Structure 1
Amino acid sequence: MVTRRFVGVGGVRLAYRVWGPPEGPALVLAVRRQIDTPPAAWAAALGGITARTLILAGGPRSHVPRQSVTELARLIPDARLRTIPVGHLIHREAPEAFTTVVTEFPGGPSAGR
């Protein structure tokens, strides 16, 4: 059975089809083309983000190219990019560093204390 699903990103809906419930790598493969080459409207919509934005990169061990993460940070006004060089699953591989970066981010739980 083919199911059509939508993911909202910056006000733009990205469609993907899945055969059965998407999980883990199957979900990534289902949207890989749009991840690698997002629609122009998606990138343009990033410039409209007004919320404080923290972008975490996993460094050289991550499968997400550094250039892509840097470009994402460039497209979002006043975004902050931090790298914790442990790979893609930062929260699992370095929970203390992850927690510190997130809580120290402006507007985070420890801001202004």
Structure 2
Amino acid sequence: MHGLHSFLLIYVLACLGQQALGSEIINGNKAPENTLLYMASLQVNGRHNCGGFLVSKDFVMTAAHCNGNSVVLGAHNLRSNQRAVRGIARKYRYPGYDSVGNGKDISFSSKQVLTKV
């Protein structure tokens, strides 16, 4: 039984370490423009790092391990020049967060400029 647990642990860890390839939607449909305005992209120097979502006019929820110095809200295409980029004023990590695997991988980021909700 110990061998099975070890195998399953290694399998799960290997699956978690996989990175998605490509940017295409698989077995789904593109969302119509201007329908997911609450979706956020946390970015480092203009490049997507992590996703998140708007929970109020001031705050974006994301994973605590995500880094970013700016946030883009509601962009249908991150490669487009028609996107609203806002700086991150402060990041609030969940108390006790110290690694991805401890179950406390959540944070709020406050934006520098308010957004109309």
Query: Normalized against structure 2, the TM-score is what?
Result: 0.31
Higher relative contact order at CA 8 Å, sep ≥6: structure 1 or structure 2? 2
Structure holding more helix per residue: 1
Query: Normalized against structure 1, the TM-score is what?
Result: 0.32
Larger Cα Rg: Structure 1 or Structure 2? 2
